[in-house]
Chain A
Amino acid sequence: MEDNGFSLRDKVAVVTGGGQSLGLAVSRALHNAGAQMVIAEVNDETGPDVAEELEGTFVHTDVTDPASVRDLVKTVLDEHGRIDVLVNNAGIVHNIPSEEVPDEEWLAVISVNLNGVFWCCREVGKVMLERGSGSIVNVASMSGIISNHPQPQAAYNASKAAVITMTKSLGGEWADRGVRVNSVSPGYIRTPLTELGMSKSEWSEVWLSSTPMGRLAEPEEIAPAVLYLASDAASFATGTNLVVDGGYTSW
Chain B
Amino acid sequence: MAVLDAFDLSGKTAVVTGGNTGMGEAFARALVEAGAGVALAARTRERSERVVGEISDSGGKAVAVDLDVTDPAQVDRMLEEVTERLGPVDILVNNAGVCYHRPAAEVPLEEWHDVFDINVHGLWHCAQRVGRRMIEGGGGNIINIGSISAMIVNRPQWQPAYNASKAAVHQLTKSLAAEWAPHNVRVNALAPGYVKTAMSPVDEPQFRQHWIEDAPMQRYATPEELGPSVVYLASEASSFMTGSVLVVDGGYTLF
Taking Cβ atoms with an 8 Å cutoff, the residues of A that contact B are 1-7, 28-29, 32-33, 168, 171-172, 175-176, 186-187, 212-214, 217-218, 220-225, 227-228, 233-247, 249-251
**Contact status B33-A236, CB under 8 Å:** no
Given contacts A238-B250, A242-B244, A246-B181, contact A228 B217 (CB under 8 A): no
**Contact status A224-B217, CB under 8 Å:** no
Given contacts A212-B178, A228-B232, A246-B181, contact A1 B240 (CB under 8 A): no
- The yes or no answer to B193 lying at the interface (CB within 8 A) is yes
Chain A residues within 8 Å of B240, by CB: 186-187, 213, 217-218, 221-222, 244-246
Chain B residues within 8 Å of A171, by CB: 216, 251, 254
Given contacts A224-B237, A236-B221, A236-B225, contact A213 B251 (CB under 8 A): no
Q: How many residues of B contact A (CB 8 A)?
A: 52
Quote the shortest CB–CB distance from A6 to chain B (angstroms): 6
Quote the shortest CB–CB distance from A4 to chain B (angstroms): 5
**Contact status B248-A236, CB under 8 Å:** yes
**Contact status B228-A234, CB under 8 Å:** yes
Quote the shortest CB–CB distance from B142 to chain A (angstroms): 13
**Contact status A32-B250, CB under 8 Å:** no
Alpha-carbon distance A223/B247, docked complex (angstroms): 19
**Contact status A237-B228, CB under 8 Å:** no
Closest to A187 in B: B240
Closest to A185 in B: B244
Chain B residues within 8 Å of A221, by CB: 239-240
**Contact status A4-B231, CB under 8 Å:** yes
**Contact status A3-B247, CB under 8 Å:** no
**Contact status B181-A172, CB under 8 Å:** no
Partner of A212, one of B4, B34, B177, B226: B177
